[in-house]
Structure 1
Amino acid sequence: MDTWTADELTRIGAAEELQVSSTRADGTLRPYVTIWVVRSGDEIYIRSAYGATNPWFVRAAASGTGRIRAGGVEKDVTFADAADAPHGAIDAAYHAKYDRYGPAIVGSVTGADVEATTFRLVPRD
């Protein structure tokens, strides 16, 4: 399976936060880290608020796989490259969902500077 169900998209997209865990070399999961998540179209995206050196991001990029929990959905995922993602739409989704927290924090996950720290979450069986 490499697509989200309509129910999963709705539940994850509506969740205030997402817990993300990357896979270790031995196949076990690292501890979960809580981050923001947005839905754009039929895709789910996450970004590193503190750049490419944020430990959770480094581990996810290195492993390429992990597990997420959000909105009552728990799923194994691939952390897919999002270079060709609709970054303007992703920014708009972050603003719509999280602007109430203020421009400084929302600014940490929007704009051209964070495009390189964007993952598209792809569900795995």
Structure 2
Amino acid sequence: MTSWTDTELDRIAAADEIGLASERADGSLRNPVTMWMVRTGDFIYVRSVKGRAGPWFIGAQTRHQGRVRSAGITKDVTLQDADPSVQEAVDAAYRDKYGERYPGIVNHVLTAQSRESTLRLVPR
């Protein structure tokens, strides 16, 4: 398994959004979905506002792989379910990154439903 470089982590964490294109069963990429992402330690996480029932999340479960683009970086990634032990840290990262600018919106990624869809993006 490969990991993010410090430069990649810093650049992606500083960006507001990430484009995530999940892979279909045949390996082709779906259209990218623009979403918020956060860095916690050496990892990048995303969540579905609609939880595990969200269309992009359902599509991502086909192969658990995709491609992300953000801050001039393009990476193929594996989409791993986040360990439940990181949920509080991911919540805090979302609040810190987006809470002041988007106080009415950030709570949508802090619900129990959204937390269940937390994915760690692992470079491959």
TM-score range, shorter chain: over 0.9
Equivalent residue number for residue 94 of structure 1:
94
Secondary structure at 1:25 match in 2: coil
- Please report the TM-score for the alignment, with normalisation by the length of structure 2: 0.92
- The equivalent of 1:3 in structure 2 is 3
8 Å CA contact retained: 2:19, 2:32: yes
Alignment: residue pair count: 123
**For 1:108 and 1:101, how far apart are their aligned partners in 2?**
11
CA distance in 2, matches of 1:92, 1:85: 13
Unaligned runs of 5+ residues in structure 2 are none
- Aligned partner of 2:102: which letter? Y
Spell out, residue by residue over 1:21-49, the C-alpha distance to the aligned partner (whole angstroms, 9 max, x if none). 01111111110110000000110000001
Deviating 4+ runs (over 3 angstroms): none
Q: Relative to 1, partners in 2 of residues 1:98 and 1:9: Cα closer, same or farther, differing over 3 Å?
A: same
Alignment of 1:40-79 (within 5 A): 40-79=40-79
**TM-score, normalisation: structure 1:** 0.92
Superposition CA RMSD, Å:
1.3
Residue type of the alignment partner of 2:122 = V
Query: Displacement of 1:61 after TM fit?
Result: 1.9
C-alpha contact 2:23 2:62 (8 A) present in aligned 1: no
- Aligned AA for 2:95? H
How far apart, in 2, do the equivalents of 1:28 and 1:43 lie?
A: 25
Local SS of the residue matching 1:27: coil
- For residue 83 of structure 1, what is the aligned residue in structure 2? 83
